[in-house]
Amino acid sequence: MQQYQCDVLVVGAGPAGSMTARTVAEQGVDVIFIEEHETPGTPVFCGEGLSIGGIRNGGLEPVEPFVCQQITTARIVAPNGKTVDMHAIDWTGYTLDRSEFDKALADNAVKAGAKLMVKVSATGVIKESDQVVGVKAIKDGEKVEFRAKVVIGADGHWSIIRRSAGLANYFDDWVTCAQYKLSGLDLEDSTINEFWMGAKYAPGGYAWVFPKSKSVANVGIGVRDRHTKPAIEYLKDFVANDPRFRNAKIELKNGGICPVSGTLDEIVMDGLMLTGDAAGQLIPMTGAGIHCSIESGKIAGRVAVEAIKEGNVSAERLSAYRVEFDTYWGNRIFEAGKVLHMLDKFSDEDLNVLADVISHEDIMHMANGLNVASVMAGLVKKSPLKLMQLIRAYLR
Ligand SMILES: Cc1cc2nc3c(=O)[nH]c(=O)nc-3n(C[C@H](O)[C@H](O)[C@H](O)COP(=O)(O)OP(=O)(O)OC[C@H]3O[C@@H](n4cnc5c(N)ncnc54)[C@H](O)[C@@H]3O)c2cc1C
């Protein structure tokens, strides 16, 4: 059996894996990253929305071919049709070409010195005396082994690395998504991302319209455990009920899962770290995980290198990664998760009332898990009794 040796082995060449590999390589440490598909970034399972900060923190600029459309307004649509617009003042967003974006992240890791091996599928970790020392994989139909001082699982929400290591089998809460890429549209304003709230569209989640141009958009929905029919059926209804989509052509059908229960309790063990969706690092309110994965990958890569240089890859040493991630990103994930659970108690009628009292700044903060406690305290003061009670229950 063919065996490969490296200091760091990263499994998965999504945003988390490529940023990890790049960070490790930039410090002159020997790193291989493996990807089961032929090209990183393909196929795409994503709404493709990302802020300019996320793009730049990934080391790229918001230019073609990585982005298709600039977004300057996020529009929340309440169940009764009332809209709240959040205009870009100190932020701007983009609809990505995710296949190009992810490929560029992987290319940059390779340029930094990381070795990318595609069409290699990890099948599980190798453990010796409870320490992870490598990964088993399939390459060209043959079994191969990778031996590494640190293994980093960046292999998405269904992470075989996490499961085979004996960490969490899955998440407590997740969003099931269905999405069409629609063409032939004539959107009035392609700089607006729409978020449609309410159980009538997407129980426990939301429906989205993310334009890629005036004529093309990603239109999708995400539902949580209280849905009564498959996600695709909610999407079909949403599309059928919007006259803008009447003559649209479905260019692509996709979807996928977003874990929304927050960062898992255990994301490191001796010789192993998890990053990105594999670790549950995704903002639960929005399902946005690209930026978190980029930042998580950078921290994981840096801590892995430090640990290797010190000759101590114990879980205790590697957990410095988690402490650093939690200081900002983990905290946002946690706070946004609490908002999600609070909104679970809101009926569509309550959401309509909320849309009347909430400001666009409040929405931005709540959705992104920023200053949540003070936003809630402010909302209590201006809300009618029923909402006040629901929000107070959150504050307790
Ligand atoms: C429908 C949908 C819409 C979304 N929309 C947005 C959005 O608009 N904005 C946003 O920020 N986030 C969005 N997300 C979330 C976002 O896509 C993820 O959070 C992000 O991709 C996580 O990055 P990652 O690198 O952790 O994992 P992934 O991007 O999933 O990458 C994991 C990589 O590992 C590879 N892999 C898996 N198993 C193996 C294996 N055994 N061996 C080798 N390789 C393997 C995969 O092929 C993949 O390339 C969306 C998710 C879904 C499902």
pLDDT at res. 257: 97
Pocket flag, ligand 1, residue 122 (CB < 6 Å): yes
Residue owning the nearest CA to atom 26 of ligand 1: 276
For the CA of 41, the closest atom of ligand 1 is: 49
Return the minimum-mean-pLDDT range out of 59-63, 248-252, 363-367.
363-367
Contacts 24+ apart (CB under 8 A), 323-332: 324/299, 325/263, 325/281, 325/295, 325/296, 325/299, 325/300, 326/263, 329/281, 329/292, 329/295, 329/296, 330/263, 330/281, 331/369, 332/283, 332/368, 332/369, 332/370
Q: What is the Å distance from ligand 1's center to 268 Cα? A: 20
Domains of the chain by residue range = 2-45+99-171+261-318, 71-90+174-259, 338-395
Q: Cα dihedral sign for 372, 373, 374, 377?
A: positive
Q: What is the Å distance from ligand 1's center to 293 Cα? A: 9
Tell me the CATH number for domain 2-45+99-171+261-318: 3.50.50.60
pLDDT at res. 359: 87
For the CA of 222, the closest atom of ligand 1 is: 1
Q: What is the Å distance from ligand 1's center to 384 Cα? A: 40
Pocket flag, ligand 1, residue 207 (CB < 6 Å): no
Pocket flag, ligand 1, residue 139 (CB < 6 Å): no
- Cα-based torsion angle of the residue sequence 7, 8, 9, 14 in order, rounded to the nearest 10 degrees: -150
pLDDT at res. 141: 96
The string of pLDDT tens digits covering residues 77-91 is 999 999 999 887 777
Instruction: Tell whether the model's pLDDT for residue 396 goes beyond 80.
Output: no
For the CA of 257, the closest atom of ligand 1 is: 53
Q: Please tell me the distance from the alpha carbon of residue 183 to that of residue 223, in angstroms, as a whole number.
A: 24
Work out the pLDDT band at 386, boundaries 50, 70, 90.
confident
Instruction: Tell whether the model's pLDDT for residue 64 goes beyond 90.
Output: yes
Instruction: Tell whether the model's pLDDT for residue 120 goes beyond 90.
Output: yes
Pairing of strands 249-259, 174-183: antiparallel
Percent share of the chain, pLDDT over 90: 87
pLDDT at res. 381: 86
Instruction: Tell whether the model's pLDDT for residue 395 goes beyond 80.
Output: no
Higher-pLDDT residue of 366, 182: 182
The string of pLDDT tens digits covering residues 267-281 is 999 999 999 999 999
Asked if the domains at 2-45+99-171+261-318 and 71-90+174-259 fall in one CATH topology, the answer is no
**What is the mean pLDDT of the segment spanning 295-308?**
98
Pocket flag, ligand 1, residue 231 (CB < 6 Å): no
pLDDT at res. 364: 87
DSSP, residue by residue, 120-141: EEEEEEEEETTEEEEEEEEETT
Q: Please tell me the distance from the alpha carbon of residue 383 to that of residue 347, in angstroms, as a whole number.
A: 15
The average confidence (pLDDT) of the chain is 95
For the CA of 210, the closest atom of ligand 1 is: 8
pTM of the model: 0.96
Pocket flag, ligand 1, residue 295 (CB < 6 Å): no
Which of 116, 143, 219, 277 has most ligand 1 atoms within 8 Å of its beta carbon, as the pocket-test mutant? 277
Residue owning the nearest CA to atom 19 of ligand 1: 289
Residue owning the nearest CA to atom 10 of ligand 1: 288
pLDDT at res. 191: 97
**What is the mean pLDDT of the segment spanning 359-386?**
87
**What is the mean pLDDT of the segment spanning 342-351?**
92
Question: Tell me, which fold does domain 71-90+174-259 have in CATH?
Answer: D-Amino Acid Oxidase; Chain A, domain 2 (3.30.9)
Residue owning the nearest CA to atom 11 of ligand 1: 288
Pocket flag, ligand 1, residue 256 (CB < 6 Å): yes
Which of 36, 218, 292 has most ligand 1 atoms within 8 Å of its beta carbon, as the pocket-test mutant? 36
Pull the structure tokens for residue 339.
């908002």
